[in-house]
Structure 1
């Protein structure tokens, strides 16, 4: 999630694991992630390494959180059935992973966000056999993010989400309550825009342009209206009257003059909030330790508001990463067993991976429920919001669909474009992609 720009996602000086992970839900992860590529000097031949020991090639994107690389190599070294070579390299992870999976010289096990083209082209194998027995220990949102065509294609290894962070003292001074609807958010942002502090920071792009880690609200603008970019039946979901009303509200927020624009970093980095540039900021779970370190108890969190008291619901994105097995793995059974051993059976490693080097949620519900760092205060509230309000982006949502929708959102919110016309143009592009996928 994260955009992390260091660890999402699919980011800040904060964490690539985090921001890049976003993705999933935001589709930002690949833009800023790093790690993939050529064989990186790993053993790519035959069925094993020296002495006949089988070799598993495992790929990660570049996590920016100190200690993470050493940790995953430590986990890998403990697996007894094979030698696990961990590839950890900077660069365009999505492109390198795509090339590796096509060439056969790529990973046996890798992290990604499951997407329709990867699945339908047979690049990965289903993992129902290892996830099925513990399926109920994952949220339905996690399962949905990893499922397509009635099968589960990966094991969630990191969960991330976002919050509307707010300064308690500034809201109290302005007589403002944490907003739960869009009208309340617009009013709060205006009321808090004073004394050299802007009311709200949602990104230098007003939340709708994906380039350089933006586009943070491309999904929440629909979720708050009770819909999504694609419906459960894989039809366009962003042209409902409620979705159009949501875009009108987001444009009104952008035109209010109360948003912080031109910040040194973007929404995934909490610096604008911690430095007092804005009284509220949409940012990720990964930022919480830094915010707490800087502001102490002078902050709270809520999910993104609903459209109104009667339409939609508060929401947050489901970010993070999913472990998958290549259909071209040297030994698919062994690669699947390793995935099960590490990401399902080894709960100690899973908690360590999520909470010892950054701040994330272990996907297993039972593990998150007993993780000490998630039991009290704002961290416990974060876990509650995640469990109640996280929404997964459909694996059917392709880059072409996202690009068309983002163009429409940018034109509407930042350029005053006609809502009906812009969404109709995006609908045509998305329906053409859906037709391609169903051909």
Structure 2
């Protein structure tokens, strides 16, 4: 295939926007009509692999117009989240040139994929067209997608830690929305009425899944998982944060909380069985589903409560798009990403309730229309603050999450010497870091 220089996709994106705004259709033969820009990728074909995610559901119906305007053919394959990682690992290990473009989780697979040589660096592509406006992406989202100083993917979905609460229960008890972690614990105790079927607090309690959510507690108390190459999950700040999270679930959480990941915790809250819930703002639709609860219209949203170091929730890229380093047509692959992550296309996904990393979209009525008004305000306030990771930033993330989760679960089960547990867990995490540094 011929190689192209500077990508003409900003112009193509503008044409797509103009067509959509004017309600223009395509010619009967599927072309863009006379007088339109030439099709810059005529005859090119790429393979796109996605996760089974609402973002993919938004993008797929838009592809025919993209293909008509560019001349590019996009073959789409979709997999469930666990299958996706396995599929990509098998193909990349074999040196496959496909897929050309794929969804991935930067903080889960980014460092592993990049150091294995599977991710094409994108700094040169993303910075060459002023109209693309890379500076419009939040700094935290770009840092989440950067490994060893290299931009390895483009953010498509962001999420931040927030507080969900029951408006009616707080109002009836005369309790203001908690603004600090101390107020959160106090409110959870006062609202804890298991005899009436309502628990004070719910959150993820499974060992690995809880790590991302306890991170906001950790940062807000001034701690982190690591400092440089040193594990720091046994510091006073870390022990305080882990103890608070574990104690909330132990004292005010539902039976079986230790087995809950986000689907179970969000469903429990959505059913009206918990007063307070901390988790990602990106799953808000799960918490206010009227088909699950008569209290769905009573769900409120607030910024993550402040710890001793303020409110410092995670603010991350949960999903990004990347280019296979072995792709035979990297220009076409980038052209697709440039379109899919441009302002016009991202507005389409954000209007469907998918939070984008582009700051400008949050300052428009169209950009916030897909979210409850209160949640949109929380999104806007959380967009530029927080911490750019929600788990240990290692190559073997799955292994590194285990020691952290163990500390919290020991609190949940009533362990009294948490410092001893934290010291052992810290040594385990340090061993993982040392092995990666060899």
Common fold, TM-score beyond 0.5?
A: yes
C-alpha change, 1:84 and 1:70, in structure 2 (3 Å) is: closer
Paired position in structure 2 for 1:259? 253
SS of residue paired to 2:142: helix
Q: Which one of the candidate residues 90, 94, 105 is aligned to 1:99?
A: 90
What are the within-5 Å matches in structure 2 for residues 42-81 of structure 1? 53-63=43-53, 67-68=57-58, 70-71=60-61, 73-74=63-64, 77-78=67-68, 80=70
Paired position in structure 1 for 2:153? 154
SS of residue paired to 2:341: helix
* Matching of residue 121 in structure 1 with residue 116 in structure 2: yes
Rounded Cα–Cα distance in structure 2 between residues aligned with 1:66 and 1:370: 23
Paired position in structure 2 for 1:109? 101
* Matching of residue 383 in structure 1 with residue 379 in structure 2: yes
SS of residue paired to 1:59: strand
Which 4+ runs in 1 deviate beyond 4 A?
64-67, 213-216, 263-266, 289-293
Paired position in structure 2 for 1:202? 203
Contact 2:213 2:278 in 1 (8 A): no
SS of residue paired to 1:217: helix
Between Structure 1 and Structure 2, how many residues are aligned? Answer: 375
Rounded Cα–Cα distance in structure 1 between residues aligned with 2:274 and 2:178: 15
SS of residue paired to 2:214: coil
> RMSD of the alignment, in Å?
2.9
Q: Which one of the candidate residues 328, 334, 358 is aligned to 2:332?
A: 334
What are the within-5 Å matches in structure 2 for residues 278-293 of structure 1? 278-289=274-285, 291=287
Rounded Cα–Cα distance in structure 2 between residues aligned with 1:314 and 1:247: 15
Given the two structures, how large is their TM-score scaled by the length of structure 2?
0.76
Contact 2:232 2:426 in 1 (8 A): no
Contact 2:242 2:407 in 1 (8 A): no
5+ long unaligned stretches in structure 2: 1-41
**Is the deviation greater in 359-368 or in 295-304?**
295-304
What are the within-5 Å matches in structure 2 for residues 124-143 of structure 1? 124-132=119-127, 134-143=133-142
Deviations 1:364-411 (A, max 9, x none): 111232252516721322322431444322643622212232233323
C-alpha change, 1:296 and 1:435, in structure 2 (3 Å) is: closer
Cα drift, residue 155 of structure 1: 0.6
C-alpha change, 1:280 and 1:139, in structure 2 (3 Å) is: same
Cα drift, residue 174 of structure 1: 1.3
* Matching of residue 86 in structure 1 with residue 76 in structure 2: yes
5+ long unaligned stretches in structure 1: 1-51
* Matching of residue 324 in structure 1 with residue 317 in structure 2: no
C-alpha change, 1:248 and 1:160, in structure 2 (3 Å) is: closer
Rounded Cα–Cα distance in structure 2 between residues aligned with 1:192 and 1:221: 21
Paired position in structure 1 for 2:192? 193
Deviations 1:164-211 (A, max 9, x none): 1111221121121211222211111110012331111113x2xx522x
